[in-house]
A and B are shown apart, each in its own frame.
Chain A
């Protein structure tokens, strides 16, 4: 691959829109997931404003959903600490996702890279890494895909809070398969050879084993680190 020089990090309107466009296939799935979270939050007593603040500031669907299951009417300091630990472990994968963006975003000044990272979410990160691996270096792609995801998430969760229940059963309409399918689409062009066989194979084996053996959400972190190290030490 003829990678452009690392100083070629740019920030254009075209890339912002291209980033937003790449998220479009996910729209129906994101919409339904957002409606479902909004409806569930209403059942826990959230107002529309509280749902909007949660989605807008936390912006992490899985963590919000998991936290909602144990939501308290009155939070105490110990229960807030437990909430922080729960949120941290569910979102530990973001540590790795952000680390993987270092070689690229470090070319930007900190006042641009750190605010951009607020928009880091699974789907737009996966789309951005495919863009990067295909030679794209325009950081607006990441911000565009992230902004679109953020807007969709806030609007759909508030709509769900206002509308309440009456949604189709998420399993019957296969919402649970949307994100893994999108991830697979982001992954396939990255297949290059031996290094992927080793790295992805180790990641798969270790993460599946850890998902049965280690409680909580550690399996992503453990599996991903093992796979990346195994792949990184495979010389082709």
Chain B
């Protein structure tokens, strides 16, 4: 525990590193063998939005009301102010504020 680099810990880190590298490259590699027909291209075009929604929607569903309100604020800021900065800051201020007052 006091050593700078423990062999067992290093082995576990390496296992995780190889696994994450596989996750990062395998999807790209597999698509090499799937012809990019117009239909496949369309599915791939829809994929980024679908991935983002599939991460955000369950997060919101399992989160508290303050988080839901914060994400609505982010949506409004992104749509009307067209600013990433205000989307993030707005969500944080609304969520933290509501939690502070006890929601």
Contact = CB atoms under 8 A, between A and B. Distances in A.
Interface string B1-33: 101111011111111111111111111101110
B57 A232 contact: no
A64 B77 CA distance: 31
B14 to A, nearest CB: 7
A98 B25 contact: yes
B26 to A, nearest CB: 6
Nearest to A54: B13
A177 B67 contact: yes
Interface stretch (A10-18, A84-92, A135-143, A147-155): A84-92
A87 B20 contact: yes
Nearest to B12: A75
Interface residues of A, number: 100
Interface string A166-199: 0000011110111011111111111000011001
Nearest to B53: A203
Contacts of B87: 25, 181-182, 184-185
Contacts of B8: 72-75
Task: Tell me if B's interface is mostly helix, strand, loop or mixed.
Answer: helix
A182 B54 CA distance: 14
Chain B, interface residues (CB within 8 Å), range: 35 or more
B44 A228 contact: yes
A57 B51 contact: no
Contacts of A233: 39, 42-43
Which residue among A58, A122, A222 has the maximum number of chain B CB atoms within 10 Å of its CB? A58
A60 interface: yes
Contacts of A206: 54
A103 B53 contact: no
Interface string A193-224: 00110011011101110110000000111111
A37 interface: no
B20 A58 contact: yes
Contacts of A101: 28
Contact of B88 (A26, A71, A99, A103): A26
A232 B71 contact: no
Contact of B53 (A73, A122, A200): A200
Contact of A224 (B20, B28, B54, B73): B54
Contacts of B1: 45, 73
A87 B74 CA distance: 30
8 contacts: A25-B89, A88-B23, A117-B24, A133-B48, A173-B92, A174-B99, A185-B83, A224-B53
Given A186-B84, A187-B78, 15 more contacts: A60-B16, A93-B55, A98-B27, A100-B44, A100-B51, A117-B28, A129-B48, A183-B56, A184-B78, A196-B49, A200-B53, A204-B57, A227-B50, A228-B47, A233-B43
